[in-house]
Amino acid sequence: MRFFVLLLILLTAGASISIYKLKHLPQEYYLKFISGQGERSLYEIESFKPSLLSPLESTPLPEVREDYQQLWREFAISQTKIPLPYRHPLYNTLPEIGIENRTISHYGLSITNPEKRTLIKIMMYPPYQLVDISLKQNLYRLPFFKNKITKFSSENLWRDLFQKKISSQVKNIDEMIYNLYILNLRHEFFPTNLKGFFYLPDEKKAVYQLDSKDKDRHYEMVMDFRNEQIFSYLMITDKKNSESMKLRNKFMKTIGFNVVDPKLAPLLQTEFKQLNYNRQIDQDGMLILYSAWTQDPKNADYLREMIFYLERGRDKGSFLSVLYKAAYLLFGKTFATKDTFLTNQDQDISLQAKIEIETLKKQRELENKIEEAPAKELTPDEKLDQYLKKAKENKSKSDEEVNVH
C-alpha cells in the first residue's frame, strides 16, 4: 500500500502523526491529482482538463446608459426579472419556447433590430440545486476528509467554484482538501464544451462560456446562487456588433430572479384588456400576456388570447410561428382563428390549424342560422292564448297605476 494511503488511514483513525514531517508526501500526491494523475482508487477525474484549474480574468461590466429609459420596462418571464424594450421603435422582442416531452424546458426571448437581425437571445431555465458530489470520490468517504468538507459554506463554495485559482503552491493539507473538492465540483458541474468561467463580484453573478462552432457569437450561461438554488439563463450575443454587446452588458447587470407567482397572471391580463386595440395586436400586448402565461403555464387561455390578438396584427408571422408550435405541442391545438400566417408552418401544425379554423367557421355559420331563423307560425289556439296573456298583463299594470287616497 502506498504511503499516502497509509497516511489517510492514520489520519482517519485519529493517530498522532506529524503533518509537518510528512507534508512532502501529501504535496506530491496533491500535485498529481490536480494534473489528472495520482492514486485513482482515491481520487480520479476522467478526461481531465487543465482549463478547470483557473478562471478567466474578470473585468467589471461597463455602465450602460439608456437615452430613452421610458422605452424599457421590467417583465417577469418565468422566474426571471428582465428589462425589455416596450413601445421601442428600434427593437422587436420575439418569444421563444423550448418544449421537451410536452413539458416546457425553458422560456426565451430574441431582440432584433429594424432590419430583423437578431442582436441577442436569452433562454431562461428552471432553478435547480447544487448537488453534493463528495461521495463520488473515495477520498471524501474517509471520515477525516468528510468532516473537513462538511464545514465548507455553500456560498463560499459557489463563489470559489468560479473565482478560485487552484494553485500548486499550497500551505497546508486543509487547502489541498478544499482545492481538490473545488476541482471535482467543477468537473461535475461544468459542461463538457466549457470554454472558460469567471465571477462578477459586483453583480454576484457566475458565468461560464461555452465553446461553439459559431465563432462570431458569445454563448454564456449566467447564474445566480440564492437560497441553495441556482437560477440561470443562457445568453447568445454577437461579438462584432456593438449594439449586441451593449445589450449583453445591460442584461448582465440588470437581470434578476424571483419565484414564479401565478397570482400575477390575472393582474397582467387585466392590464392587457385596458390597452387600446392597436397595442393589443402588437408586441406590447404580446409581452404582457407572455409574462402572464409564464407565471401560470398550465392555463391555456393566456396563450389562446395571445394568438387571437396577434393574428389581427401586421407582420406577426415570426411571433405566431413560435406560439402555434408551443400550443400544438403542449395542448394539442394551435388556437388559430385565421389562416393568414400558416404558409411557413410545419405541415402537421398547419393541418391542425386549418381543421380548427374550419370547425370554428362552421360553428359561426350555425350560430348565424339560429339567429336568423324566422319566427314559428302560431296556431289559432296559440294566438288566442297569447292575446289573453297580453290582455291580462295590461290589466295588472293598469291596476298598479291606480292611486288610492
pLDDT at 373: 53
Give pLDDT tens digits for 227-282: 889 999 999 999 989 999 999 999 999 999 998 999 999 999 999 999 999 999 99
The structure's pTM equals 0.82
- CA–CA separation, 260 and 76 (whole Å): 8
- Domain of residue 286, residue span: 261-398
User: By C-alpha distance, which of 213, 209, 238, 240 is closest to 222?
Assistant: 209
Assigned domain for 16 exists: no
Residue type, 228: E
- CA–CA separation, 230 and 225 (whole Å): 5
Taking the alpha carbons of 145, 146, 147, 152 in that order, is the dihedral positive or negative?
positive
pLDDT at 329: 95
Same domain flag for 240 and 132: yes
Residue 102 CB neighbours (<10 A): 9
Give pLDDT tens digits for 121-139: 999 999 998 877 777 787 7
Which of 211, 230, 260 is the C-terminal boundary of a domain? 260
Same domain flag for 88 and 183: yes
Same domain flag for 95 and 71: yes
Same domain flag for 243 and 287: no
Which of 230, 260, 290 is the C-terminal boundary of a domain? 260
Same domain flag for 364 and 383: yes
CB 261 within 8 A of CB 79: no
How many structural domains are present in the chain? 2
pLDDT at 172: 83
pLDDT at 261: 94
CB 150 within 8 A of CB 19: no
Which of 225, 241, 260 is the C-terminal boundary of a domain? 260
Low-confidence stretches of the chain (pLDDT < 70) are 1-25, 38-40, 371-378, 380-388, 390-405
CB 243 within 8 A of CB 210: no
Same domain flag for 243 and 285: no
DSSP state of 212: -
Same domain flag for 242 and 283: no
Assigned domain for 36 exists: no
Angle of helix 347-372 relative to helix 317-331, nearest 10 degrees?
90
Indicate the SS3 state at residue 104. Answer: strand
Grid cell 421610458 — which residue?
70
Same domain flag for 282 and 242: no
